[in-house]
Structure 1
């Protein structure tokens, strides 16, 4: 353990850099609550999405790194702001006309449009928990409604009331003039309608723990700020939550930097240090535009998992979290193969190197043995050439190339086969277009055909790859890359592709020879 901690203290991987902030935070000893608290937030007005996954997986990676650096226990809260009022009806749920009648009601008081849970908030909370459980995250679910109504936040709410004017002084400069005119940190819950009201607060009474607000009908109402009679606007609410729960670490998107800064100030006014954390960059679509749920230009978790394993999505989230990255279908094959490479390298690395390997962070230091001898790219190109519609088609080639592998003995490979077929069907087949070889390419292909026919039956992938290299060198391509691009375009119908030696070995030499003949005879283009 001592050696492991020594390596962890020097590790440069970003989760360790983040974890060391928390080590410094508690270098004098554990906090009074007895544990370091990580938190992620969720707004249950919609279904969990890829940003939710990214935040939880990244926070988990920092937590795991901290556990290698410190003996202080840790907890992770997945917090749902389910007492928030329904502001607008989501476009992707049924019974929208019914939901329209409940605008302003706390999400846990809005009927479930799906008809399966106690409320819309409860439905989406169940979706969140199922979503996180499906990935095996270790977390504790916390409901805003439950904590407000159980009195967990009562002292925090009284603290906000006590420092009402100081908090107003922080918030008002950040608001538009029209919004500032009626702003209050407190949102009373109407006794008559149950709606969460955004109305002016006319008086505050610290001694009584109450506020007086102007109701929507113009009357004055006095109500306690405790016991679920009020909730807070989301920025003061965020800060109050940090203050009451003692949150030590929470990350958020770059777009929330101003909100974090406001929250930090309010948390300090309430008498607590704000949490550590960092702001991650937002995702871009294939055109470099910011991903927006309303635009629908993003890639969902469900879509990613249709074509690749969750570990590859975790890797995508791990890599360069502070850099804007394009998140669209074309990044999936590379993410899978990068994941396979990191897992394959792990066992042979020195202890210090392992802590820098993303596989360590994806699997909490215990990645599986090499998951697949075949890359996703190879399987994808095999599916493309074989026009595969079922797993059996690809396994027919795989079983000849790797006789000891079966769907039962190689379950991860079997999953990759299914993912590759799905990706080929939806994202390769519709745009596949073969190029007819030009004169130089024809000469090179003819020589490659002869070389494959003359190669010994025992030639393996490496030897076949060497044949491909040697043939390319003999012809006046401007660079070898142009030769491989010509192979991909004429034989596979795409601009990029796999190591051709590995592909020929998997597809079978006889099939590969027939493929080259078809290209030369003009039967592919």
Structure 2
């Protein structure tokens, strides 16, 4: 299997972005790379971290991995925004009820985890699931807890600097609070979508997220009626950020603020920012501060952060004018949808997570979903029958790669899906079609011995001798049947022949069934049964069983035979692929059901 090369660059968005990041980082470092390139992601564990959030990780991961493949020092960091406020109790999260409303406004690491969790707090509970999924997906990163950073005083100097420069920060933010700007094209290109269309969508998404109150999309900039202060303390009395800064002394670093309790009671509190660390910079200041602190070269973000006046746009001004850094290369990525669901939201809960997807999809296939589309292209993840078609496409690509017929862009996407710069991902040794596996599991109920007997009829570069030969795909398909296949669509094979139908058959139909029954064991494999079921009408019409060019009447006869077989076997006009169905039912039972 060959690796992608420079000829793939015209079709491979990862190569193009990596080229841009390396060139920009080299220029920023004076013409020679003296430190690792930094690619960054940010995740807020405000609830289940869903498949939309995964794009925030996978875009930087693929770019960092490409840079690593070139032998260039690179680091992918993930900032866990676990010091964000708890904004809303998610819906449909097991072990969570309305009592969690009393924790709104606290840092996520100060909120208790769902009932039954083995983790110390809300943030760690949801981070753990995501960490396990990222390990399965082959994502290598350095995690940074913002709770640890703030409460340890790591940002002490940055916070003090922001407070000293609060008037200048306020002035920068003021440029965007009321004016309407002409949209600038997002870096990385927008394909055929116009800039106005993209930014109209961005503004709508930002408004929706801000109204919902989830994560950093609240776009808090620290504005208030008592003057501008870019730091928001967490109350030592109530534990929440229901606080309003009253005054700040630059010399003593004493911050005085009014804290409001759940019953409306108010207390005045003070802290010294040079030694008290229970609070954080507001988001629009926090993000550019971190760009400068970590030396971030590349960090994409969603459309909600790139509308005029939003955090990415304003951050580009603040990082340079206030913190002396540079805005990272930051292409906009489009949202990921789920078939039958509105846009995903962590705070709303009830949305599929990477962990949910990984029980239905092998890790390379989930990686492929995120690498085969450019970041600014939205796509939808479907767990219904569309997932079977996705696997058909994946297997077709695998055959092209094995046969050296894949296009350069497809080859690059496949390579990035099955391996990283540091390791190969687990692939199913003998990739029996996912569609066939779901049919086998559906018909047999997942019975191991029956499943193996049927799989022995598949020859994929050698026979299947053990169920381990088809894992983990078999386990994914089993889960799909259990959780996604509607009970009304389950396949139920007849126990007794359909005497009424058999007695009503015409002579040509009887002849077709007798020919099929007589030849079943000529080649009891998937390929053999495929040839046979398509071949019976050919033989009846006087053609060779391998003939490809057929008149319309023979093709119609094939369709009619398939329909008849489905009615005799499963009392339906359709069903699983017929050769797979025959393998599952077994030769003796097939003969009895089609001939009586």
TM-score normalised by L of structure 1: 0.79
Q: 1:6 to 1:323 in 2, by over 3 A?
A: closer
- Corresponding residue SS for 1:428: coil
Question: Is it true that 1:428 corresponds to 2:485 in the alignment?
Answer: yes
Corresponding residue for 1:523? none
Structure-1 residue corresponding to 2:315:
263
Where do residues 113-512 of structure 1 align in structure 2 (5 Å cutoff)? 113-114=114-115, 116-171=118-173, 173-174=176-177, 180-182=223-225, 184-199=229-244, 201-203=245-247, 205-206=249-250, 209=253, 211-216=255-260, 217=266, 219=268, 221=270, 223-224=272-273, 228-258=277-307, 259-269=311-321, 270-287=323-340, 289-293=342-346, 298-320=351-373, 321-330=375-384, 331-349=386-404, 353=408, 356-364=411-419, 366=424, 371-384=429-442, 386-402=443-459, 404-407=463-466, 411=468, 413-428=470-485, 430-432=487-489, 449-453=513-517, 455=519, 457-459=521-523, 461-462=526-527, 464-466=529-531, 468-469=533-534, 471=537, 476=553, 500-501=578-579, 504=582
Could you tell me whether the CA contact under 8 Å between 1:488 and 1:496 is conserved in 2? no
Shift of 1:186: 1.2
Query: Match for residue 58 of structure 1?
Result: 59
Quick one: distance in 2 between partners of 1:142 and 1:127? 16
Q: Which runs of 5+ in 1 are unaligned?
A: 519-525
Q: Describe the SS at the equivalent of 2:79.
A: strand
Equivalent residues of 2:48, 2:353 under 8 A apart: no
- 2: CA distance between counterparts of 1:488 and 1:294? 50
User: 1:251-305 CA distances to partner (integer Å, 9 max, x unpaired)?
Assistant: 2333332332233232233221112233322233434732345666643334333
Over residues 227-249 of structure 1, what are the superposed CA-to-partner deviations in whole Å (9 max), with x where a residue is unaligned?
52430122321221112111122
Query: 8 Å contact 2:454–2:583 — kept in the other structure?
Result: no
SS in 2 for 1:262: helix
Q: 2: CA distance between counterparts of 1:382 and 1:119?
A: 43
Q: Relative contact order (alpha carbons < 8 A, sep ≥ 6): 1 or 2 greater? A: 2
**Partner SS for 2:78:** strand
Deviations 1:176-201 (A, max 9, x none): 999954474210233444433442x4
Q: Which moved more, 1:213-222 or 1:331-340?
A: 213-222
SS in 2 for 1:21: helix
CA distance in 1 between counterparts of 2:491 and 2:410 reads: 44
Contact 1:340–1:370 (8 Å) recurs in 2: no
What whole-Å deviation, never above 9, does each CA across 1:385-413 have from its counterpart, x for those lacking one?
Answer: x2424333221211244584233xx6251
Q: Which moved more, 1:255-264 or 1:3-12?
A: 3-12
Q: CA deviation digits over 1:359-395, x for unaligned, max 9?
A: 31123365667732420111222333x2424333221
Cα distance, 1:40 vs structure 2:
1.7
Structure 2 Cα separation of the partners of residues 357 and 192 of structure 1: 55
CA change 1:481–1:84 in 2 (3 A) is: farther
Could you tell me which residue of structure 1 aligns to residue 19 of structure 2?
20
- TM-score, normalised via structure 2 length: 0.71
Structure 2 CA distance for partners of 1:445 and 1:170, relative to 1, 3 Å: farther
| Separation in 1, partners of 2:490, 2:350 | 25
Matched position secondary structure for 2:22: helix
Partners of 1:174 and 1:206 lie apart in 2 by 26
Provide the rounded CA distance (Å) in 2 between the counterparts of 1:256 and 1:95.
29
Say if 1:346 and 1:354, in contact at 8 Å, map to a contact too. Answer: no
Cα distance, 1:209 vs. partner? 4.8
Structure 2: gaps spanning 5 or more residues = 179-209, 211-219, 261-265, 493-497, 539-549
Any conservation in 2 of the 1:48–1:131 contact (CA below 8 Å)?
A: no
Distance change in 2, residues 1:367/1:186 (3 Å) = closer
1:345 and 1:478, CA in 2 relative to 1: closer, same or farther beyond 3 A? closer
Which residue pairs with 1:49 in the alignment?
50
Residues 81 and 405 of structure 1: is their aligned pair in 2 closer, same or farther, counting only changes over 3 Å?
A: same
* Conservation of the 8 A alpha-carbon contact between 2:49 and 2:353: no
Question: Residue 472 of structure 2: SS of its match in structure 1?
Answer: helix
Shift of residue 465 of structure 1? 3.6
Counterpart-to-counterpart distance in 2, 1:143 and 1:383:
43
Change (3 A) 1:101 1:481: farther
CA contact (8 A) 2:47 2:346 kept: no
Distance (Å, rounded) in 2 between the aligned partners of 1:504 and 1:222? 76
